[in-house]
Chains A and B, each alone.
Chain A
């Protein structure tokens, strides 16, 4: 059965998410010394906000102790990209993670993947979504470099994931399933994040600590689509990430009509806003992932409030329990998953999917 991988931000979150059904947990740390030397913008991992990271390696030890007491493995995100001067500090963090008993490192940088064993790391190595694995050869590449698990980027489609899983039984594969459906490919996106934490520290951190973004998104989910787009652009005034800004869009074409230009402009304008990248769900695809032998599904959102984390795990756990019935068809499973979503979250999923069903029908040329 697929395992559910849940984020945590504090040791006190471990018990509730495990009780809800998480079989694995992951977390990140942004130590003070690193932050002082490089700032949050050049974070130690791919979350550039204080609100998504533990502040010390002692906090990490507490998480590991709490998780191991529940026989649950802990994975540490070390999935930034590191330049040469950073290696001594990265080595220190890897050593501390080993000493804490962290079970796996989540790594995006090929340099760190190559160096981890020389740093004394004996635990498992997971290739992050930042490793940009989109084909069989890439999986084989990472397996030869010693990876124990490959996390498949969000931008793989279900049929691609299923096909790769069928050919790679000798390595663990993980996919995304909830939240933060980045529109851009994580491992190829070179926009800076965490900028507002530097430019407006209070104006950014206080709403974050109060989970204001989470509450805004819940309201957006309840809105009709026509209103949501406008509200999403309005809310994006407070956005940090470049992909969520409400851009002014100017479209040009040497051949298009005015009507075509207006349509493309409107389509692009609606593509940018705080809603576009958040709260996606891939639960309907659990049926495919379970039958394909995927090892684990990841919930994104280290900085989500605990009740959201628990709800996400409980929702997925309920969906996976349905799969105990071998006669359940994919379509019936999708119906039941959507019903469960509406029941648990209080609003319909609105088919804001990680893996839209329509992509299953796309010809290979379109993938």
Chain B
């Protein structure tokens, strides 16, 4: 990094959904993200979470456990994961990304000392590429609105902090970002999530007659297949990985400090 790099000195994290990918990573990073934001079926086992935390600690990296939206069944699994990851993370400590208000509620009650990061599902940003089609027709206040997140509203940011949230996880929007205040932010790149579902389109797609309205059966097709969706009305291709659509944005903001971005989260691949 050159001295003029606005991202010099910013904490670098790399996100992994599987232990083998984490172990194979030999690039630089200060922190490891491990887990899944969008699907509780892809939550790691407690043993894998502990192994990931230990692997991070052995290389001198901080550790963040990433959790998805959860049903009660998923919540029960996270209840086992957190203590295991916390014990394995050691002195460096554990941070947890929460993407579910219920999970935040439970973490604040049961693990009040663990710093939380408010995940991308809860930091509301409009990420869809269609903004590029209408940007020229939108009033300036609408553009500015779409560059911001509701989590930066001061009274909400204050309350989040009281609940143990120490940072917010943000996507790198095609329309640009705007922040004047709010909690410190992590910025994900190069993939921004756009939408997600429990009616996973990939699950069961290898067999004819899939019921689009059903949640099953899942044979983890997402670990084998990816898709790119294109349409003349969609200004950027959508990347479909499992139950989630992403866009790719390689251009980072020029002024991370002004946006209160203190961490960059690299996703080598969509989760």
- Do A242 and B127 touch (CB < 8 A)? no
Partner of B234 from the list A36, A134, A245 (CB cut-off 8 Å) is A245
Residue in chain A with minimal CB distance to B159: A114
A251 to B206, CA, bound (A): 12
Q: How far is the CB of A46 from chain B (nearest CB, A)?
A: 12
Q: How far is the CB of A170 from chain B (nearest CB, A)?
A: 16
Taking the complex as formed, is A353 at the interface, i.e. its CB lies under 8 A from any CB of chain B? Answer: yes
Query: Which A residues, 67 to 90, have Cβ-Cβ distances below 8 Å to chain B?
Result: 81-87
Known: A131-B101, A263-B205, A264-B221. A247 touches B213 (CB 8 A): no
- Do A247 and B142 touch (CB < 8 A)? no
Partner of B205 from the list A141, A191, A267 (CB cut-off 8 Å) is A267
- Do B134 and A136 touch (CB < 8 A)? no
The interface stretch among B17-25, B48-56, B145-153, B263-271 is: B145-153
Taking the complex as formed, is A210 at the interface, i.e. its CB lies under 8 A from any CB of chain B? Answer: no
- Do A84 and B105 touch (CB < 8 A)? no
A82 to B152, CA, bound (A): 10
Known: A192-B128, A271-B201, A362-B215. A256 touches B134 (CB 8 A): no
In the complex, which residues of chain B have a beta carbon less than 8 angstroms from the beta carbon of A247? 229-231, 234, 238
Taking the complex as formed, is B154 at the interface, i.e. its CB lies under 8 A from any CB of chain A? Answer: yes
Residue in chain B with minimal CB distance to A130: B124
A101 to B102, CA, bound (A): 32
In the complex, which residues of chain A have a beta carbon less than 8 angstroms from the beta carbon of B211? 356, 358
Known: A183-B212, A242-B130. A252 touches B225 (CB 8 A): yes
Taking the complex as formed, is A268 at the interface, i.e. its CB lies under 8 A from any CB of chain B? Answer: yes
- Write out, one digit per residue, whether chain B residues 120-141 have a CB within 8 A of any chain A CB (1) or not (0): 0100111110110110011101
In the complex, which residues of chain A have a beta carbon less than 8 angstroms from the beta carbon of B103? 135, 137
In the complex, which residues of chain A have a beta carbon less than 8 angstroms from the beta carbon of B125? 190
In the complex, which residues of chain A have a beta carbon less than 8 angstroms from the beta carbon of B228? 249-250, 252
- Do B131 and A263 touch (CB < 8 A)? no
Partner of A135 from the list B100, B207, B240 (CB cut-off 8 Å) is B100
In the complex, which residues of chain A have a beta carbon less than 8 angstroms from the beta carbon of B101? 110, 131-133, 137-138, 141-142
- Do A132 and B100 touch (CB < 8 A)? yes
Query: Which A residues, 127 to 166, have Cβ-Cβ distances below 8 Å to chain B?
Result: 131-142, 144, 155-157, 160, 163-164
- Do A359 and B130 touch (CB < 8 A)? no
A160 to B210, CA, bound (A): 22
Known: A82-B153, A256-B225. A135 touches B145 (CB 8 A): no
Residue in chain B with minimal CB distance to A136: B72
User: How many of A's residues come within 8 Å of B, CB to CB?
Assistant: 86
In the complex, which residues of chain B have a beta carbon less than 8 angstroms from the beta carbon of A358? 211, 214, 216
The interface stretch among B5-13, B58-66, B88-96, B192-200 is: B192-200
Taking the complex as formed, is A56 at the interface, i.e. its CB lies under 8 A from any CB of chain B? Answer: no
- Do A85 and B215 touch (CB < 8 A)? no
Q: How far is the CB of A359 from chain B (nearest CB, A)?
A: 5
Q: How far is the CB of A286 from chain B (nearest CB, A)?
A: 17
Candidate in B74, B134, B193, B211 with the most chain A CB atoms within 10 angstroms = B134
A354 to B198, CA, bound (A): 12
- Write out, one digit per residue, whether chain A residues 222-266 have a CB within 8 A of any chain B CB (1) or not (0): 000000000000000000001101111111111110001101110
Taking the complex as formed, is A111 at the interface, i.e. its CB lies under 8 A from any CB of chain B? Answer: yes
Taking the complex as formed, is A185 at the interface, i.e. its CB lies under 8 A from any CB of chain B? Answer: yes
- Do A365 and B130 touch (CB < 8 A)? no
Q: How far is the CB of A246 from chain B (nearest CB, A)?
A: 7
Taking the complex as formed, is B226 at the interface, i.e. its CB lies under 8 A from any CB of chain A? Answer: yes
Taking the complex as formed, is A280 at the interface, i.e. its CB lies under 8 A from any CB of chain B? Answer: yes
Taking the complex as formed, is B104 at the interface, i.e. its CB lies under 8 A from any CB of chain A? Answer: yes
Residue in chain B with minimal CB distance to A83: B148
- Do B221 and A189 touch (CB < 8 A)? no
- Do A85 and B213 touch (CB < 8 A)? no
Residue in chain B with minimal CB distance to A225: B209
Partner of B197 from the list A185, A260, A261 (CB cut-off 8 Å) is A185
- Do A155 and B153 touch (CB < 8 A)? no
- Do A141 and B105 touch (CB < 8 A)? yes
In the complex, which residues of chain A have a beta carbon less than 8 angstroms from the beta carbon of B156? 110-111, 114
Known: A132-B69, A142-B101. A85 touches B144 (CB 8 A): yes
- Do B213 and A356 touch (CB < 8 A)? yes
Query: Which A residues, 92 to 111, have Cβ-Cβ distances below 8 Å to chain B?
Result: 109-111
Closest 10 CB pairs of A and B: A137-B102, A138-B102, A191-B128, A141-B105, A111-B156, A247-B229, A267-B205, A364-B73, A155-B198, A190-B127
Using A190-B194, A367-B71 as known contacts, list a sample of 18 further A-B pairs with CB atoms less than 8 Å apart, ordered by residue number in A: A39-B142, A42-B145, A83-B148, A114-B155, A114-B159, A132-B101, A134-B69, A138-B102, A189-B195, A190-B128, A195-B133, A252-B228, A254-B224, A267-B206, A271-B212, A356-B213, A358-B211, A367-B73
Residue pairs across A and B with Cβ atoms less than 8 A apart, 7 shown, are: A41-B138, A114-B155, A184-B196, A248-B231, A254-B224, A280-B213, A365-B73
